[in-house]
Structure 1
């Protein structure tokens, strides 16, 4: 067993970056588009890389809390450069707990976090190609010759958006996309994600530090809060003793229209023994999911502050109003602000554009009661009950048109609503190349 993260990371760096040292160009950052896709049962946010020899485009559902890249190898995976990872190798060790096939190939379970389905798959390495960037537009295409991934199957692919054959895990592991790219090109272990609210325009995912130019350099206006570690795995197929690789933040309280919402604050903390509680961020959950007592308290405070009659709800939401009773502005529906007060007393302000979901003449509070709404696969329910393992899961609708930067080296989150900067996530210039 290799004894430390530093040694693990140096193994990874040696494994995937040595061939790149022969080239004169070493990018400072990379960029890919993200598209909002509504072809599946729930919205998914999809990106694309090129992989294999010869290179082919591979569509992937973005999983912020996923631990690795997995791709379906069962259907049409052909590559002259794909190599299995031997058991006992340094690359195998990077995946932590793992299994070993009869052919002595290292393996781990690829998980579809949309459906909760996991299988077992061999770990392989193959070439991955992606655009570099200077933060203003796409630049030269660069390649990583031995990018590690897990082979999935048709069964685990089921439920993903049309044309998607795997998932791009961005989580806190040594083999997630941000970690492998940072190691390959020796840039900072940071990435930033910005989801578009429209299916007609692209959001953007940056690997590396800013600038992040979305009409302005958003990296200059970020507000920061620490990332929190959950010592217990929250993945569909985690191993005993593994920490969660998802991104948790410390929410101290919730305010609606500047008034504190009465909550059982013990739910906001993570129980270090069993991993229950706390707040995580997800691109797989389409909407924010709240533990039932938190949902009821927030909903009641919101209805009281808004002061208009409720109407029959539209699933999966439980708190809805007539659209005619709500005003609109550049910031979206004119409704009370919902503030997440974080552990260092900075505030994540959720404005109307992110808090509400409209269905023609009905508009709903875009938060879901964990006791009645989403599937157990997406929120991770405590076995045998209706309580989610995580008390608050901030979903993708609440992230749209916010830029979030995850700094893996310093364990902090930077965030900013682009409504405050009079821009949006669709304003990265993908049309020209440097």
Structure 2
């Protein structure tokens, strides 16, 4: 009996030690990381990330997805196939498993998380897959390039990305298994070349962040590149985050923070802007705390007409000595360059977004002035009309070479203002693969 008790004690001690070792294990990564590419070959500048989509013939296939922080659902070029097995999927095609119209995800997405507007056709349960005999689940998605409604088929998907400690990219991989949707190749005709999907990073339960679990913290960090020849970086995880050449400086130390706001009819992200300031000239926007949308698909900051006029007036006063040029669509205020080169050597003022918690987000000249030709530079803010859906929408030109952090757990938005003023840029992350052990 004594020997039996000793044996039991040894086994329990072993189990306890094993559980303790598992509990103490800390993975070498703090985030996942993917490169960002800027595209200028569509109707407007857009930004994509590259994701590993499936493992075929001992290697991963890759696909490029537009970054959309507003979309409620991931959708991309793929086909549904029942009983997927090796060799059954057509060449150069991504096959995924279907969600049936009888499953709860179908009803959930249709009634709560898919787009509903007059351009969207009604969804039905009439379609089936050969050899399956059950109905598929069509849902609606809006094309971020054209604004048209596409009908897509809900699926069970799989995405794979690299892990990182914020400074290095590891060979170790992280898998996510979302409910996404398949669309025909024709749906992406308006997209940039080689981009065949929309990756949703919104607060929707069907966006990618909802499928990224421990040890990752619910934090999205974006750093958009300012040209198409270099790569920016997207992290999902708590950080730290480093850019060369300042590889000992955690970018979190460079951030100011303001609350992230929610709107009941949107899964996107919003902040509160109290005023817009141009060289100490206050524009006195109304209301005095305007809910402002953040967008990764709108190219320039768009202002309601009354706000736009106040900003243009203030900017005109602050640049009284700089000769004007004829406006270039979509911009309303343009300037003649006195010398050749970026901004023609002219001294333009910075613009401050005065935020609701007393912080200022400074929009540098690199993010406020768009070089149109060697001789013409325009204020990169756009008149959004008298009654737009949102009074202010901050677009991607104002994001470029700024480090932005969306803390989805604590509902805060971190912003660095221009990294160019800190002698680095969004194109300075080291994507060299290393062993994370």
Return the TM-score normalized by structure 1. Answer: 0.80
RMSD: 2.6
Shift of residue 248, structure 1, vs aligned partner: 0.7
**Partner residue in 1 for 2:432:** 431
Equivalent position to 2:33, from 20, 31, 34: 31
User: Structure 1 stretch 172-181 or stretch 281-290: which is displaced more?
Assistant: 172-181
Q: Does 1:287 align with 2:287?
A: no
Mapping of residues 8-407 of structure 1, within 5 Å: 27-54=29-56, 55-73=60-78, 78-79=93-94, 82-87=96-101, 89=103, 91-92=105-106, 95=109, 96-97=112-113, 101-102=125-126, 103-144=134-175, 146-181=177-212, 183=213, 185-214=214-243, 215=246, 216-232=249-265, 244-265=266-287, 269=290, 278-307=291-320, 308-324=322-338, 334-358=347-371, 359-371=373-385, 387-407=387-407
Shift of residue 118, structure 1, vs aligned partner: 1.6
Distance (Å, rounded) in 1 between the aligned partners of 2:176 and 2:199: 17
Q: Residues 137 and 27 of structure 1: is their aligned pair in 2 closer, same or farther, counting only changes over 3 Å? A: closer
- After superposition, give the CA deviation of every residue in 1:288-315 in whole Å (9 maximum; x if it has no partner): 1111111111011101111123111111
Q: Residues 143 and 154 of structure 1: is their aligned pair in 2 closer, same or farther, counting only changes over 3 Å? A: same
User: Structure 1 stretch 295-304 or stretch 48-57: which is displaced more?
Assistant: 48-57
Highest Rg: 1 or 2? 2
Shift of residue 79, structure 1, vs aligned partner: 4.6
Q: Residues 170 and 309 of structure 1: is their aligned pair in 2 closer, same or farther, counting only changes over 3 Å? A: same
Shift of residue 209, structure 1, vs aligned partner: 1.1
Distance (Å, rounded) in 2 between the aligned partners of 1:26 and 1:146: 22
Q: Residues 79 and 198 of structure 1: is their aligned pair in 2 closer, same or farther, counting only changes over 3 Å? A: closer
Shift of residue 256, structure 1, vs aligned partner: 0.8
Q: Residues 26 and 433 of structure 1: is their aligned pair in 2 closer, same or farther, counting only changes over 3 Å? A: closer
Q: Residues 284 and 130 of structure 1: is their aligned pair in 2 closer, same or farther, counting only changes over 3 Å? A: same
Distance (Å, rounded) in 1 between the aligned partners of 2:108 and 2:242: 33
Distance (Å, rounded) in 1 between the aligned partners of 2:42 and 2:70: 20
Residue ranges of structure 2 left out of the alignment (5+ in a row) = 1-24, 80-89, 115-122, 127-133
Return the TM-score normalized by structure 2. Answer: 0.79
- After superposition, give the CA deviation of every residue in 1:141-165 in whole Å (9 maximum; x if it has no partner): 4242633211123443231101111
Q: Residues 256 and 24 of structure 1: is their aligned pair in 2 closer, same or farther, counting only changes over 3 Å? A: closer
Paired residues in the alignment total: 374
Contact preservation (8 Å) 2:301, 2:394: yes
Distance (Å, rounded) in 2 between the aligned partners of 1:333 and 1:412: 36
Residue ranges of structure 1 left out of the alignment (5+ in a row) = 1-22, 233-243, 270-277, 372-385
Matched residue of 2:427: which SS? helix
Shift of residue 420, structure 1, vs aligned partner: 3.8
- After superposition, give the CA deviation of every residue in 1:107-147 in whole Å (9 maximum; x if it has no partner): 42122112111222221112211111110121124242633
Distance (Å, rounded) in 1 between the aligned partners of 2:62 and 2:74: 14
Contact preservation (8 Å) 2:43, 2:145: no
Shift of residue 76, structure 1, vs aligned partner: 7.1
